[in-house]
Structures are given as structure tokens and as C-alpha cells.
Amino acid sequence: MKKNKQFNVNIFINTLKNKYKEWKAPVVTAMANKGASPFEVLITTILSLRTKDDVTAKAAKKLLAVANTPDRMVTLSEKEIETLIYPAGFYPTKAKRIKQISKIIIDTYKGITPDDLDELLKLPGVGRKTANLVLIEGFKKNAICVDTHVHRISNRVGLVTTKTPDKTEFALRKSLPEKYWIQYNEILVAFGQIICRPVSPICSRCPVEHMCPRINVLKSR
């Protein structure tokens, strides 16, 4: 761990933004960039939980090709949804949740995916990470989505000092300039997948190595 490097959030994010075009966008962002609807973003985000991006992309493509609206989704049985999204992680549970959520959106929200954090959190299986990502990618609203990459890297560079992703979200709301909120998850997920990995990050290729204190990094490349 190195403690003698000074961290500047503006330089950190702007440097990563300049390098970001070399990295692959996270699957939900990639779909949103192609014009996915808020409902499609929500379904893809649910599929992405504990699932690799390439598997998520294939599962989402198959499912949404058959049913890309709540009305169409509820016509499918859970088994049909399972078949379409396999081998996404926890696919039986996700199939059940997708069916439930689609029905709730029809019955409670007149078929329109809610664009409010509290309302999204009422949907079964939707936590703060999923809800915030839907707000960002589905509605282009200012929100902070914290997954394992964002939680790890934000602590690694010393921007926050937290123990859980939820606590990281609330800490970032205070320490991260709002102008960066929408892109923060997108950039850090790609950065975390390619360079700033959980174990043995590739610091020799890191564009912000010169300013990173490497908090709790025991081994790097």
C-alpha cells in the first residue's frame, strides 16, 4: 500500500474518460447506447446480477427478441423465460422475478417502467444497485450505481472509506461531484474488469497509477 500519492477526483475521472474508449462498455450500458427502452434496461440489469457480461448479453438478446415489453413478457411461462435466459446465473429465480416484475409494471404502473428510485425498489429482487442503474441507463437521471467494482475502486483510491456497497453509494453522494454521477459506474466497471482487478491489479498499465495510493492492495502487476 502506498500512502504518499495525492488523489484528485477530477484528474482521476477525466483521465479514465480519455482511456475509456479503449475498453469494452459494460453490457447494460452497451444496450442503452443502442436505444434500449427502460424496461429492456431493467430486464438486462436483472439478468446481469452475478453473471458475466458475455452471458448476460446473449441471454438478454434471446429473451428480448421474444418479449421486450411487460405485456409480452407476461404471456411467457416461467419455464419459457428460464429456457431463453439460460445459462445466466440463478436463472430460475430471475425468470420468476422477471415475470413478477412485468405483471406489477402492468398492474401498478400502467405498463410503464417507473423512473423513481423508491418505486423501483418496490419491485421484487430490485436493490439499490439495480434501481440506480436503471435510472442512469434507462432514464439518463443522475444517480450513483455501486457494484463490486465501484465499491472496491472507490475505496482503493481513497475517495471513500466504507465497508459495503450501500454505504459507498451514500458516501459518494457527498464526495463525488454530481457531474460525474451518471458515468461513474460505466467507467469504473470497465476499468475494474480490465485494469483495476480485485486481486493483483495491473498497476503497470494503469493510466492513474501515478496518483493512486493503492489502499489495501497487497499484490499488483
- What are the residue numbers of the active site? 129, 147
Give dist(CA 126, CA 105) in Å, integer.
13
**Could you tell me how far CA 183 lies from the centroid of its own chain?**
11
Is residue 164 classed exposed, middle or buried when 0-12, 13-18 and 19+ CB atoms within 10 A define those classes? exposed
Spatial separation of the C-alpha atoms in residues 217 and 156, rounded to whole Å: 8
Let me know if 15 is exposed, middle or buried by CB neighbors in 10 A (0-12, 13-18, 19+): middle
Please answer whether residues 94 and 47 qualify as being in contact, where contact means their C-beta atoms are separated by less than 8 angstroms. Answer: yes
Which is nearest to 114 in space by CA: 96, 130, 99?
A: 130
